[in-house]
Structure 1
Amino acid sequence: MISNGKSGICLIRKNINGRLFQTAYGELAALGVDPVEKKPLYHFHPGSSILSIGTNGCNFRCDFCQNWHISTAETPRKQTTPAELAAEAVQTGSTGIAFTYNEPTIWYEFVYDCAAEFKKQGLKNVIVSNGYINEAPLAELIPLIDAANIDLKGFTEKFYKETLGSLEPVKRTITALYESGVSVEVTNLLIPGKNDDEQDFESMCRWLASVSPDIPLHISAYFPAYKSTIRPTEPETVIRMKKTAEKHLRYVYAGNIKNENNSSLCPHCKTVLVRRSGYEVKSFLKTNRCPGCGKQLYFCV
């Protein structure tokens, strides 16, 4: 229950005289034009740029949050409209818009209206989310969404309880997005002593492969942030987990470590599909078929 004059943990839903208001509609705490690979999305229009926005707040409380300055506190916000953002996307040569930086589901009303405007103008919609959302609002939003990166934080309820969340709704979201034809990728941030148990990790990879072995998995090394002072993830751990994931999944990428080759290869003939060096990207794809063997691939180009 939220007392009168108080907000929920998300910061932006407030009880004002017994009515619940969403207090950040159309108000931006962050805006930029990013490489789509930064979301990270490696299989959705590789090499393109995307307008990226966020507001304050989150429905989780992660001690290791990397965007804690906007997810845990209110900061100055700039007012905007869906039409203004669509015009900016066109002006900046963006392929569309990414709802990112903070959790997009908490300002669902604006995300929905903005996505509808972008869809109407033939632009793309991306969500970067923890996936913790009820089925009905997700089903309403999915027809407007072209791509999603879902942060699968771990694979135990114990770990999710520390974030104030739960695992099963996140699994349900990933499945629903994939089965609806959304281009889905998944990120897992490896935190020493928290979610890096190898058996749990392999169980996660097996489950993801049961949805589809084509879903790309981004395994990222953790660095201390916000309230967390746990030591950084060793690069060797990320590489070892990547090899484990590759037993089950066709596309696995290692993030936040130096000198790791994150080029995309055809899982059938190993032709280089997209060459990456940091955010320098060279795509050899003209369609979603391999230029080497001609087989269909899990890419949107």
Structure 2
Amino acid sequence: MYEAHQYAPLGDGTVRCSLCAHRCRIADGKHGICGVRINRGGTLYAATFGRVAAEAIDPIEKKPLFHFLPGSTSYSLGGVGCNFRCRHCQNWEISQSSIDDLPLFEISPERGVERANAGGAASISWTYNEPTIWHEYPLEMGALAREQGLGTVYVTNGYITEEALAELAPMLNAFRVDIKAFSDEFYRSVCSARLQPVLDATVAAHEHGMHIETVTLVIPGLNDSMEEMRALISWVVENLGPDVPMHFTRFHPDYRMRDREPTPLRTIEKILQCARDLGIRYVYAGNVPPGDYENTFCPSCGALLIERSGFSGRIMGLEGDRCGDCGERIPVVRSV
């Protein structure tokens, strides 16, 4: 197996992993919470380096990323395991599986870049399960991808440490982060994690110059109060700025949370309006009926700039990174 980055020996064969905010203390023969970083004889190994559970070429809008290479496709890879235990996980078949549960196939970093180019993708995304725990694999593939002009994307829960993020920063373009709630109690009871490390990593990614978009799945009765939503939106405005796109997605019952009803559309609409009122200039809804919920409009003159339907995006009124009608600069990454 591939020796891991981001760990230190503690003596007696025990190591401390510094990849994610759990900072697991791992005894010889054991693995971290993620299940894929294994201590053998005092050396920590990345057991899933190059081992893939899911591969596809997706529209970038599926991530969802609306202001990063809009209208393009992204070569997308997922592995197994996660450092969260979300009771509502929609990819639980791979995220809550172990190395031995699923048939994994090998794709080297070099081969991944070749397949991205062959498929006409503009970027590579590490997604489907948590990319943080795959650290060494996207780090190598991403460096190769950047040399060939491909964009690089993490679709992440944001539980990465600042030192691990700093190691990724030279190669990582986009940090599409789930901020699952604005309550530590939610993170502890629903995800077996904490809120503050996610906020810290998101600010650090922003400071490293990565493109940031946030996603919050709105779950009735758990994180849907307007008080909590106002606190989350205000935090984004104050710490990331009003131009960071925010996505609010309707919940549907899944995994171990099948006892709740889907989010009412009216709740999502109220949150979108709240975000606009608090200064967010680009706010979107997911898992909603067709309409303007996912379209991008110029915040200055109201012109339609990017039209979206399903997972496809079509450039309408953008000229480079400016509104074609009024010239307002739009924070959208058109090339890397």
- C-alpha distance in structure 2 between counterparts of 1:266 and 1:145, whole Å: 27
Q: Secondary structure at the match of 1:170?
A: helix
Structure 2 CA distance for aligned equivalents of residues 46 and 18 of structure 1: 45
Q: Deviations over 1:144-178 (max 9, x none)?
A: 11112100000011111121221112112222222
Contact 2:142 2:171 in 1 (8 A): yes
- Pairing partner for 1:192 from 195, 220, 226: 220
Q: Secondary structure of the residue that 1:143 maps to in structure 2? A: coil
Secondary structure of the 1:144 match is coil
Q: State whether residues 180 and 187 of structure 2, in contact with CA within 8 Å, keep that contact through their aligned partners in structure 1.
A: yes
Alpha carbons 1:192, 1:231 under 8 Å: kept: yes
What TM-score, normalized by structure 2, do the two folds share? 0.87
CA distance in 2, matches of 1:286, 1:78: 42
Structure 1 gap ranges (5+): none
Residue 122 of structure 1 aligns with an amino acid whose one-letter code is G
Question: CA separation in 2, counterparts of 1:223 and 1:8?
Answer: 30
Letter in 2 for 1:138: L
1:34, CA displacement in angstroms? 0.2
CA contact (8 A) 2:124 2:153 kept: yes
1:21 corresponds to which of 41, 45, 54: 45
CA RMSD for the aligned pairs? Answer: 1.3
Of residues 242, 247, 253, the one that matches 1:224 is 253
Distance 2:26 2:109 in 1: 30
Matched pairs, number: 301
**Secondary structure at the residue paired with 2:291?**
coil
Match of 2:323 in 1: 290
The answer to whether residue 144 in structure 2 is matched with residue 112 in structure 1 is: no
Cα distance in 2 for residues equivalent to 1:14 and 1:4: 8
SS in 1 for 2:138: helix
Conserved? CA contact 1:11–1:72, under 8 Å: no
Contact 2:156–2:178 under 8 Å retained in 1: yes
C-alpha distance after superposition, 1:89-123 (max 9, x if no partner) = 11110002001001100010111111111011111
Contact 2:154 2:175 in 1 (8 A): yes
**Distance in 2 of aligned mates of 1:180 and 1:267:** 26
Paired with 1:31 and 1:37, the residues of 2 have a C-alpha distance of 16
Greater alpha carbon shift after TM alignment, 88-97 vs 227-236 = 227-236
Structure 2 contact 59–312 (Cα < 8 Å) conserved: no
Unaligned runs of 5+ in 2: 1-24
CA distance in 2 between partners of 1:180 and 1:137 (Å): 12
Q: What's 2:5 paired with?
A: none
Equivalent residue runs for 1:1-301 within 5 Å: 1-74=25-98, 75-162=102-189, 163-210=191-238, 211-229=240-258, 230-248=260-278, 249-261=280-292, 262-284=294-316, 285-301=318-334
TM-score (norm. length: structure 1)? 0.96
One-letter amino acid of the structure 2 residue matched with residue 53 of structure 1: L
2:61–2:312 CA contact under 8 A, matched in 1:
no
Q: Distance in 2 between matches of 1:174 and 1:16?
A: 32
State the one-letter code of the partner of 1:228. M
Shift of 1:16: 2.7
Instruction: String of CA shifts for 1:28-85, please: whole Å, max 9, x gaps.
Output: 0111000000000001111100100010011111000010000111311111111111
- Conserved 8 A contact 1:46-1:281: yes
Overall identity of the aligned pairs, in %:
39
AA at the equivalent of 1:223: H
Contact 1:254 1:260 in 2 (8 A): no
